[in-house]
Structures are given as C-alpha cells and as structure tokens.
Amino acid sequence: MSQFVDSDENTPLLRDEPRSDDVNDDDYRSRWRSIRVMYFTMFLSSVGFTIVITSLWPYLEKSDDSADATFLGWVVAAYSLGQMVASPLFGLWSNYRRRREPLVCSIFINLSANIYYAYASLPSTGDKYHILISRAFVGFGAGNVAVVRSYVAGATSLKERTNAMANMSACQALGFILGPALQACLSFLGEVGYTVEFIQLKLNMYTAPALLAAVFGVINILLVALVLREHRVDDDGRRIQAINYLSEDEVDLIEDPEETIDQVAAYTSNVLFFIVMFIFAVFETIATPLSMDMFAWTRREAVFYNGIIICCIGFESILVFLAVKVAAQRVGDRPVLLAGLAIIFCGFFILLPWGNHYPKIQWADLKNNSLVSQLSSNSSFESTGCPYDQTWCQYTPAIHLAQYITSDFLIGVGYPACNVMSYTLYSKILGPKPQGVYMGWLTASGSGARTLGPVFVSHVYTLLGPRWAFTIICIMVAAAIVLLSFVYHRLIAFSVRHGRTIE
C-alpha cells in the first residue's frame, strides 16, 4: 500500500480525476519521449547551421567566380534572416494546430533546402544566388525552434522546466560542436569527389555535409510522426487535456481573461535575449580577424586555433548547462541570469587594449619596394599582422594572448547561463497560454541579433578598432544589467504573479 502512496506523491503528472498509476506512468513516459524528440530536433537545427559553415566560403568561391567576401556575409546572414521570418509563423501555426504539423513541414523545408544546396553548383550561371537562396530556406526551416521551445515549455512543470531547458540548450551546443566535426570527417571526399550520373549529383566535401543533414531530417520527420504526442501540463505538473486543434476562442479560454501576461516582463525578456545573442554573434565574428591582427596568425593558424577554442567553449558550455540546473534550483533563475551578464561584462572588459606593446603591422619591416613587389607576387607568401589600411593599428595597444584566452573562458561561462535562463524565465512568465507566437518572437529577436551583430562589429572594428568595439559592447552589457535590475521583481512565473503558487 505504501508503494502506491509513494508513487502518487512522486508522480509529477497529478490528475484532477482519479486514475491508475499505470496510466500515470504511461503518460509520464510518453511525455518525456516527446520532449526528447524535441531535444533531437533542437540538436539537428544547430547541426544544420554549422555542418557547412566551415566549407561555405570555398564552396561559394569554387561555384561562382563573381562571389566575394561581402556576398559571403549575406549568405551567412541569410540563415538567420530566414529563421527570423519563419519563427513567428511556425509559432502561430503551433498555437492552433497540432505541433506535429508545423514541425514536419519545417523539417521538410529544411531537408529540401539542403538538397538544393548540394545542387547549387549545377546551373551554369548564378550559382552564388542559388547558394544564398538555399541557405535562406535552411534557416526558414530552422524556424521550428520556436515550436520546440513552446512544446517543452508547455509539457513541463515549473520545477521541471529549468532542467528541460538546460538539457535542450546542451543538445543545441552539442550540435554546434559536432556540425564542424562532421564536416571535417567528410573532407576526405575532396573537392572533386564522385559524380552520381543518373541524378546528376556531385558528391564531394562541400555537398556531402548538406546531404547528411538532409538524411538527419528524414530521421527527424519519422520521429516526430511516430513518437511525438501532444502533452500539456500546468505549472504544478497536472495534466491539461491534450489539445489537437484549437480555435481562437479555445486558445483564449486556456488562460483566465482576468489573468493577463505581464507584457513589460515579456518585452524585457526579448530585449535581454537580443542583447545576449547580439554580443555572442559579435564574439563569434570577431574571433578570427582579431587573432590574425593581434597575434600575426596566418589564415590557416587562425582557423585551426580558433576552431580548437570554439570546440573547447562548446564543451565548457555543456558543463555550464549542467551547473545551471543546480544553481537555479538553489538560488533561482534571475540571480543566475544576472551573474551570467556580469561574467560576460568581465569577459569583454578584459579584452580592452592596454600597455605599450603594439600589434605587428603588415609590411612594416619591409623597406625595399622591389622586395615588397616580389613577395606580393609570390602566391605562397602570406603577410601577417594588422593591415596597414586599419589606421588604428598604429596607435592602439595589442591585445595579449592571455587576455584573449581568459576572455574566451569567461564568455564561455556567461553566455550559456544567460541563454538558458533567458527563455526559461520567458516561458515561466508566459504561463499556461500556448506560447508558440511568443516563442516565435523570442527566436526572431535572437535571429535578428545574429544578423545585426556581425554587421555592427565588422564596421566598428575595421574603422575604429577593438577599443571602441569592446567598449560599446561593455556599455550594452552594463545596460542589460541595469534593465534586469530595474524589472527584477517582475520577472516571475505567471502562476506566482497571480498567487497560484509561491516562488
């Protein structure tokens, strides 16, 4: 008899009507199987972004001679722009239909776009535009991240949500790590590779990663179709009747008309998430040019060393996600978010140049013009150091390698903590109402930040140097800390705000 009592007390899905423990257990297992499918979908979303990122430029350059670095920037931004447009649309769709529908549709768009990417070099003209369009549609398909986050938020209680969101972020980070690794494993195919004549497919180191992503998409569709079930629970873990189809009136009835969402808290969460994603996009973008300018690394050294650093940061992020679970349970979500922003501030503050050591200037040690011409004509020679046309190189102190490594470590701690806490708090603020549209706007704000961040830093860094670039970032992070402190008391769960539960 005591076994049944203990099972009831420990079962997170408590029902209003009496049900057997077997039903509870079955529903619990089905719910978490579905959540794990969402983990896998999030993992594949990040893999789809990174699996071709390291080969994107050589593929673009090989496919179309007219492509330049500026166009590459648009190709990289196309993914985020596509995701920014799609996220609210898929989120809205998920509010009124079964989540399986927008998920299958978005994954199908994603895998089709990856196949399109593999065939982008087939036409005789305009190949760069085909690559651009394919990446935009890959990003459009990745708009299902809003549906994933909405599903996990609705299928978990308040106590479960931080753990679930941290697990989902860890899967996302793992995808960012494994994406480039899979690309590296497929590089043995080489640039020529093999040609499958009857379907006119060139299988090489550039197209194989996209095709592998398409295969993952097929697996994902099967999992969504066969395993995913509709589950909703309230903040206390009690099951809400499974919702397959929703009219607008039914959506409104889920939430008491008098118990509205705190729009100030929701808007603030979007702003904070935008800032977090913006500064990380800046960090990703500036790493290679900064290291080449400050440490006189060659292109190959910069790619190799920064690849190692980013991989280490990825593993560090997974450890942080695990630590966040414990920290949030002990001190709460808001203090973890505040601490994460403070750590990011320290990470960028450390990067501010100081001292009397200046970066090496390209060609600065060459006095003989004929020697300059001779070396310039040698295709195997690569000049290193800070470009002479960046005038700030002449008066801005160099950043030391120890500063750079320390900054990477701190940002690798602060960013994942802020990332998971941002949308964990956001989901709790929104409460029981279907969160598809709201999560769509949150994802769109993150995609917009990933689009604007690289544009901002490339211009400011090139024209004014690291001192101005990192000072502006520090000001932005400080403003985020002030904003969080100002609305700290409002960033609470929906049920706590309306007195249903005690925080």
User: What pLDDT does residue 245 have?
Assistant: 47
Report which DSSP code applies to 378.
-
Question: Does a structural domain hold residue 465?
Answer: yes
3-state secondary structure 102-153: HHHHHHHHHHHHHHHHHCCCCCCCCHHHHHHHHHHHHHHHHHHHHHHHHHHH
- Could you write out the DSSP letters of every residue in 287-322? HHHHHHHHH---HHHHHHHHHHHHHHHHHHHHHHHH
User: What pLDDT does residue 19 have?
Assistant: 42
- CA–CA separation, 374 and 359 (whole Å): 24
Helices 158-185 and 208-226 pack at an angle, to 10 degrees, of: 150
Domain count, the chain: 2
Lookup result for tokens 């719910």: 31
Q: What is the pLDDT of residues 415-445, one digit of tens each?
A: 888 988 887 888 888 877 766 778 888 888 8
Q: Which amino acid is it at 326?
A: V
User: What pLDDT does residue 437 have?
Assistant: 78
Residues 221 and 269 in one domain: no
The two structure tokens encoding residue 429: 């603020």
- CA–CA separation, 302 and 385 (whole Å): 12
Question: Does a structural domain hold residue 453?
Answer: yes
Residues 73 and 135 in one domain: yes
Residues 145 and 281 in one domain: no
Q: Is 159 helix (H, G, I), strand (E, B) or coil?
A: helix
Q: Which amino acid is it at 131?
A: I
Residues 280 and 208 in one domain: no
Contacts of 348 (CB under 8 A, 6+ apart): 279, 407, 411, 470, 473, 474, 477
- Could you write out the DSSP letters of every residue in 478-491? HHHHHHHHHTGGG-
Q: Among the three residues 250, 271, 289, which one is the final residue of a domain in this structure?
A: 250
Q: Among the three residues 250, 274, 290, which one is the final residue of a domain in this structure?
A: 250
Question: Does a structural domain hold residue 1?
Answer: no
Buried b or exposed e, range 355-376, using 16+ CB within 10 angstroms: eeeebbbbeeeeeeeeeeeeee
Residues 225 and 311 in one domain: no
User: What pLDDT does residue 52 have?
Assistant: 81
Q: Among the three residues 193, 227, 250, which one is the final residue of a domain in this structure?
A: 250
User: What pLDDT does residue 10 have?
Assistant: 39
Residues 218 and 272 in one domain: no
List the chain residues with pLDDT less than 70.
1-24, 54, 68-70, 73, 124, 235-237, 240-259, 299-300, 303, 363-382, 434-435, 498-503
Question: Does a structural domain hold residue 490?
Answer: yes
- CA–CA separation, 429 and 427 (whole Å): 5
Number of neighbours of residue 264 by Cβ within 10 angstroms: 12
- CA–CA separation, 38 and 68 (whole Å): 37
How many residues can be counted in the chain? 503
The two structure tokens encoding residue 67: 């492509």
User: What pLDDT does residue 299 have?
Assistant: 67
Question: Does a structural domain hold residue 376?
Answer: no
Domain that holds residue 438: 255-369+384-503
Phi, psi values for residue 52, rounded to 5°: -115, 0
- CA–CA separation, 295 and 108 (whole Å): 44
Largest CA distance in the chain: 94
The domain spanning residue 393 has which CATH number?
A: 1.20.1250.20
Which has the closest alpha carbon to 296: 350, 361, 355? 361
Q: Is 444 exposed, middle or buried, given 0-12, 13-18 or 19+ CB atoms closer than 10 A?
A: buried
Question: Does a structural domain hold residue 379?
Answer: no
Residues 234 and 286 in one domain: no
Which residues are paired to 361 by β-bridges?
Answer: 386
Q: Is 361 helix (H, G, I), strand (E, B) or coil?
A: strand
Q: What is the pLDDT of residues 91-100, one digit of tens each?
A: 888 888 888 8
User: What pLDDT does residue 502 have?
Assistant: 52
